[in-house]
């Protein structure tokens, strides 16, 4: 008797992550973790996103009997400073001002928990991004657009054409490193479409 295909549960409310999973051809359900994110100052950026992704996946895995729970967390780091999601448009202006004309790194942590067995995989992806120099009016225009995104910008948006260069995984900058996710799913014996 053939065992039923494992289902995927995305522990995130991110429309970008949802869209990327759909583009991968995956069937999944969404169960946001609603985890209150906090910064752990002693952790490196890679350790931080892995910890937060794992906490999100664990929170949802407790509510799931069967399936693979995917938790993810993305941060933007410039000169050692973590630039998370902006609190308001004023904070977004401050973040965009810091990123303007400089390089920064995007880190995404992924955590997969296979239920009911509990096998857990955790990894992180790092991508280097160069942003063009933004004029004050450009910063003002974009300051209220992406309050739900780390770094206050969305690389996939047509109006956000200020990313000059990406060294590494483009999808990591969107918020879900697809190739890394595929490798992790394969390790859990999940058959990709």
For residue 151 the two structure tokens come to 């770094």
For residue 56 the two structure tokens come to 């999100």
Q: 16 φ, ψ to 5°? A: -65, -45
Of 73, 114, 148, 160, the catalytic one is 73
**Can 73 be counted among the known catalytic residues?**
yes
Q: 63 φ, ψ to 5°? A: -100, 0
Q: Which of 74, 35, 34, 78 is nearest to 180 (CA)?
A: 74
Strand partners of residue 10: 30, 70
Residues annotated as catalytic are 73
């Amino acid at each position: 008797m053939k065992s039923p295909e494992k289902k995927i549960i995305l522990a995130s409310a991110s429309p970008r992550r949802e869209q990327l999973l759909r583009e991968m051809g995956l069937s999944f359900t969404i169960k946001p973790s609603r985890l209150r994110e906090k910064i752990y100052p002693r952790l490196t950026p890679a350790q931080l996103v892995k910890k937060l992704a794992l906490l999100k996946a664990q929170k949802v895995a407790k509510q799931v009997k069967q399936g693979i729970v995917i938790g993810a967390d993305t941060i933007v780091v410039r000169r050692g400073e973590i630039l998370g999601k902006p609190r308001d448009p004023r904070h977004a202006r401050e973040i965009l001002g810091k990123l303007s004309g400089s390089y920064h790194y995007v880190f995404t942590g992924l955590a997969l928990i296979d239920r009911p067995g509990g096998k857990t995989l955790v990894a992180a992806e790092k991508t280097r991004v160069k942003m063009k120099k933004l004029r004050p009016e450009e910063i003002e225009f974009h300051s209220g657009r992406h309050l739900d995104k780390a770094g206050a910008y969305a690389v996939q948006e047509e109006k956000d054409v200020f990313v000059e260069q990406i060294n590494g995984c483009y999808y990591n900058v969107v918020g879900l490193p697809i190739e890394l996710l595929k490798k992790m799913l394969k390790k859990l014996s999940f058959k990709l479409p």
